[in-house]
Amino acid sequence: MAKVRVHNLTVTLDGFAAGVDQRLEAPFGDGVEGLHDWMFAAMEDGATGVDAERVRLWDVNTGATIMGRNMFGPVRGDWPDESWKGWWGDNPPYHHDVFVRTHHLRPSFAMEGGTTFHFSAEPADVVLERALTAAGGQDVIIAGGAATIQQYLQADLIDELSLVIVPLLAGRGERLFDNLGDISENYRVDELVSSEKATHARLVRR
């Protein structure tokens, strides 16, 4: 059965998924330089070990993605035009339907390689239904950022969250584990494993 997953969400040792002042020149904001170094190293040819295994599992059986608007791009408020097409160039790595949650709607558009971006102001559960349909039986990934993941955790709509903790300190920014109340009622941690660069933990439903 299709799962709703967060996959390889990376946070600092002090729990931040992003720093402050996210913008074009700093997509994850200031204070989190190196946050994804573990991932880039794990994506190199011939990489092995737990980091590489987790990276490879990202797009296995994945049929659609949901993200918040700030993950899609640095534009805030109304779109000045439709020139912003995401951070990922002409051929984004998704290769499936990506649903961007935003109050600032614009028409869907398709990119090379099979990625189509859709924009929706509908509630979290409605967007998820659309994504599950688009995924055609494969998993849906809730990509980020922290606020979007919190909304889906609060609504108890996530089946599995694989978290990556890296040995950096941000001090401030956007925490993943915030505004969640007692999520321990719904989730438990079923795995903890570490490379030299990153610790991987997985939350699953109780």
Binding region for a second copy (CB under 8 A): 13-15, 31, 163, 165-172, 177, 180-185, 187-194, 196-199, 201, 203
Nearer to a second copy, 82 or 185 (CB): 185
Q: How far apart are CA 97 and CA 173, in angstroms?
A: 29
Instruction: Give min distance, CB of 190 to a second copy, in A.
Output: 8
- Choice between 105 and 169, CB closer to a second copy: 169
Q: What is the rounded CA–CA span in Å between residue 201 and residue 8?
A: 9
Task: Provide, rounded to whole angstroms, the least separation between the CB of residue 182 and a second copy.
Answer: 4
Question: Which pairs count as long-range contacts for 123-129, CB under 8 Å and 24+ apart, including other chains?
Answer: 124/151, 124/152, 124/155, 124/157, 125/155, 125/157, 127/66, 127/99, 127/101, 128/4, 128/66, 128/152, 128/157
* Closer residue to a second copy, CB minimum distance, 13 or 105: 13
CA distance 28 to 205: 28
Least Å from the CB of residue 197 to a second copy: 7
- Return the number of the residue (14 or 90) whose C-beta is nearest a second copy: 14
C-alpha Rg value of the chain to the nearest Å: 16
The alpha carbon of 27 is separated from its chain's Cα centroid by a whole number of angstroms, namely 13
Residue with smaller CB distance to a second copy, 61 or 179: 179
User: Residue 30 Cβ, how far from a second copy at the closest point, in Å?
Assistant: 10
Query: Least distance to a second copy from the beta carbon of 152, Å?
Result: 16
Backbone CA torsion sign across 145, 190, 32, 41:
negative
